[in-house]
A = this chain, B = another copy of it.
Amino acid sequence: MAADATDLSTEALARRRFLKRGSAGAVATAAAALQLPARAAENVAAAGAEAANLPPNVPEWTKSLGEPTASPYGMPSRFEKTAIRSLYPGLKEPMSAYSTSPLQELDGIITPNGLHYERHHAGVPQIDPALHRLMVHGLTRRSLIFTMDELRQFPSESHIYFMECSGNPSFLPPWGKTAAEVAGLVSGAQWTGVPLRAVLAHIGVKPGAKWVIAEGADGAGMTRSIPIEKCMDDVLLAYSQNGERLRPEQGYPLRLFVPGFEGNMSIKWLRRLEVADQPVYSREETAKYTDLMADGRSRKFSFVMECKSLITSPSGTHRLTRQGRHEMRGIAWSGHGKIKAVDVSVDGGNTWTPAKLDGPVLNKALTSFRAPFEWRGQELMLMSRAVDETGYVQPLLSELLKERGSVSFYHNNSVQPWRVAANGEVTNGRA
């Protein structure tokens, strides 16, 4: 049977079935079942035999050949225009800048590589992997320089981990409109690489070694000091991300990956590791990435990204278009390990109910949660609050400010509220 005839008869048959049963009635049933607004049901009645939500014709794509198989590297649909990275609001200089993952468009615990958040200090270098080297030296029994091929010969491990910028968001207003603007400097991926402990065992670490200084090969030469216990634990020399080689903006061909710690410590374009007995007190751990406290002292070496959650749907700029049952969805994560639970509220934190954790719950990885809620056209304040396996509970902003003082900048893991207005519009509950 020719494709056209089959398609037309299927569509026509479907229409006839609807007409037989009384299309207005059948589609009105559909509308009612999903509790569509009254307007849709009226359209159905007005349209008569032509059900309001049936497309008018057999679509073009059903009657023709599509595009060829085997695009060498596939891209998203041209109809997906809003699932893109954006410069963090207010930034204009693109070399020392960050870009956000469009969390309000995403699902699950894996962020596609093209949408992983970025934070750069001198733009994105395009490194030739054949020329890239990693030097490992210092308080070591020997000093070695590795090529990428040599590193890939070490035992490899793959782990699903989150990564988060320590300024996600900062404590400064404005708070942003969308989930991306509010907290889009977090992403999840499966990272593959060499456990750093395997390389350190290979070269031999001398007594007195307490830190590893990691330095990047980009124009900014980003440098951080990592405690050696962490390096002997789960730090990776990562070369793959979600199966393929790292993206340039995530450090191609090699980055340090420090699970659960501030994103800036996962030094990109890694070229040097120096084993030392002291931290190097780089700019990035003194002038930056420290927290000024109320008494004038700075909290430094605040490594761990604490337990946190974010409702991604519905979130700022979304709109509820019907009354009835909805599902809120979001992500939770903790630098201390696994998420134990997520509670949600629709009344600004007066009452809480447990959300369902959906999919695998993994150590230091994004964890999906979802929870049903009812909307009857009233104003709501949606919130989520995560608890990790240590028992730590994600704090409210007021609790966090009380503890840290109001001049603190980084590590804002407070509960994020989303306001639902009577007309269904969703906005940032802080603004």
Verify if A30 is at the interface (C-beta below 8 Å from B): yes
Interface residues of A in 239-279 (CB under 8 A from B): 240, 242-249, 252-253, 269, 271-272
A359 CA / B362 CA spacing, docked (Å): 10
A347 CA / B144 CA spacing, docked (Å): 34
Does B252 contact A55, Cβ atoms closer than 8 Å? no
Verify if A159 is at the interface (C-beta below 8 Å from B): yes
Does B69 contact A219, Cβ atoms closer than 8 Å? no
Of B74, B106, B123, B158, which contacts A115 at CB under 8 A?
B74
A98 CA / B109 CA spacing, docked (Å): 28
User: Which partner residue on chain B sits nearest A106 by CB separation?
Assistant: B243
Verify if A29 is at the interface (C-beta below 8 Å from B): yes
Which chain B residues border A244 with CB–CB below 8 Å?
76, 80, 83, 105-107, 112, 115
Chain copies in complex: 2
> Given contacts A53-B147, A114-B75, is CB(A68)–CB(B124) below 8 Å?
yes
Number of interface residues of A (CB under 8 A): 130
Does B3 contact A219, Cβ atoms closer than 8 Å? yes
User: Which partner residue on chain B sits nearest A122 by CB separation?
Assistant: B65
Does B247 contact A125, Cβ atoms closer than 8 Å? no
Does A77 contact B155, Cβ atoms closer than 8 Å? no
Verify if A326 is at the interface (C-beta below 8 Å from B): yes
Verify if A85 is at the interface (C-beta below 8 Å from B): yes
Does A74 contact B249, Cβ atoms closer than 8 Å? yes
User: Which partner residue on chain B sits nearest A118 by CB separation?
Assistant: B69
Most buried by B among A156, A188, A243, A370: A243
Stretch at the interface among A129-137, A167-175, A377-385, A407-415: A129-137
Stretch at the interface among A13-21, A294-302, A390-398, A422-430: A13-21
Of B55, B133, B220, B252, which contacts A131 at CB under 8 A?
B55
User: Which partner residue on chain B sits nearest A356 by CB separation?
Assistant: B155
A214 CA / B159 CA spacing, docked (Å): 36
Stretch at the interface among A56-64, A285-293, A337-345: A56-64
> Given contacts A69-B95, A326-B153, is CB(A142)–CB(B53) below 8 Å?
no
Interface residues of A in 307-364 (CB under 8 A from B): 321-322, 326-327, 329, 358-360, 362
* Other contacts beyond A72-B84, A106-B244: 15, CB < 8 A: A3-B219, A34-B150, A54-B133, A54-B145, A59-B127, A59-B132, A62-B221, A65-B122, A65-B219, A66-B124, A69-B99, A74-B85, A78-B126, A110-B110, A111-B243
The 5 closest A-B pairs by CB, nearest first: A66-B123, A68-B94, A61-B125, A70-B99, A107-B192
